[in-house]
Amino acid sequence: MIKKWIPIIAPLLLVGGIAIGLGSDMLQETERKTPSLISSEAGKQISEKIRESGPQIIEDATPVIQSITISATGDCALGTLQLHGYEGSFGQYYDKYGEEYFFENVRDIFSADDFTIVNLECVLSYSNDRVEKKFNIRGEPKYTGIMTSSSVEACSLGNNHTMDYGPSSLEDTINALNEAGIVYGYKDYVDTYMTEEGIIIGVVSASLFSYSEQEENYFRDGIADLREKGADIVVACCHWGVEGSHNLTEYQITTAHKIIDWGADVLIGSHPHVLQGMEVYNGKVICYSLGNFSFGANHNPPDFNTLIFQQTFTFINGQLQTDINANIVPCLLSSAKGYNNYQPMVAEEDHWQDIIGKMNSYTKPYSSITFDEDGRLVLPEGE
């Protein structure tokens, strides 16, 4: 029950005060004119009862319930690898089909939720100051339209490709995201997004390939900062793990638990480029790796399996509830067979069940949760 004091007390006190004032005047006047009808002692008793009763409390039996659904994907390399030519590249597909092409098959899912976040694994820059490394991924600043045209509200920048073309390329990327109104997290920079319902979602993101006190502290301090900023839900995005491996490292698990203990409400992992298992720890979901999604850095990756993770958070009278309502949407990173056309699609029946089966097998060594045939996260009995 919610007890509404503020809007009711003032008018009641005002009215009560007027009533008491008038009552007092009337009692005095009555005593002067007709003392036999009401005594002074009786008047005192009436006044005492009014004071004892105090302001009335009106109980509101209808709680305010709000449901917020978050969707998350894995690596989105919205650009071209430096080793690729123009033919068949992400850039060529953009020039040919436009910004709405890439998320066309999942746009309805992103539009139906309250908040969608992806891992942006590239720079959006015209810089030619390429850092010497094996893989550099670069798109154009206008590629933010790929996200905004498909209801992607946020991205994580805590990964190993945020400065592929020098510090200026990171600055260009941040400027492009700010101009597009896309929320992001990067190391000690945290950001928030407010839903139409007034729920504030915070994002913190960093790379964690191996133990680093500084990188871990980005999460610890970032979560605290987001709470100070009024975040109702905190999404932590971690870039970690072994590329190409469905197995978790001990460091992933121990650090994930730390981040949840520091106050994150959900943890989204990336970097291995393949799916890894999930876990529920202290009532919070950990997605260790969501694989690739729209991935322009590989024309034909060995594993096309991917998914969209979704979780619905419920608030009752502003308080986040402890129930877990989560699911996965099995997808393929390409809608073409045999090559990557950078356009993810929801998996059809055979692939759908295959991905769910694989996710259950990836999860089993680390957690007792499972996913049913519809992709719903199922907790073991008693949890």
Task: Identify whether 88 is part of a domain.
Answer: yes
pLDDT of residue 211: 83
Quick one: 12 and 93 in the same domain?
A: no
Q: Do 288 and 333 belong to one domain?
A: yes
Q: What is the pTM of this model?
A: 0.84
Q: What pLDDT shows up at residue 61?
A: 75
Q: Give me the residues of the chain with pLDDT under 70, please.
A: 1-60, 382-383
Q: How much is the pLDDT for 29?
A: 41
Q: Residue 26 sits in which domain range? A: 2-60
Whole-number pLDDT of residue 212: 87
- Same domain for 243 and 280? yes
User: Same domain, yes or no, for 84 and 176?
Assistant: yes
CA distance 96 to 229: 42
Task: Give the CATH number for residue 326.
Answer: 3.60.21.10
pLDDT in the model for residue 4: 29
Q: Match 């590249």 to its residue by tokens.
A: 89
Quick: pLDDT tens for 59-74: 557 999 999 999 999 9
pLDDT for 45: 55
Are 212 and 304 in the same domain? Answer: yes
Nearest-angstrom CA–CA distance, 109 and 33: 78
| Same domain flag for 70 and 33 | no
- Residues 54, 126: one domain? no
Residue 39 shares a structural domain with residue 123: no
Residues 245 and 325 in one domain: yes
CA distance 206 to 220: 11
Q: Is residue 383 part of a domain?
A: no
Same domain for 236 and 217, yes or no, is yes
Q: What is the pLDDT of residue 52?
A: 54
Q: Are residues 199 and 344 in the same domain?
A: yes
Judge whether 105 and 344 are in contact, CB under 8 Å.
Answer: yes
Residue 17 lies in a domain: yes
Q: Give the total number of structural domains in the chain.
A: 2
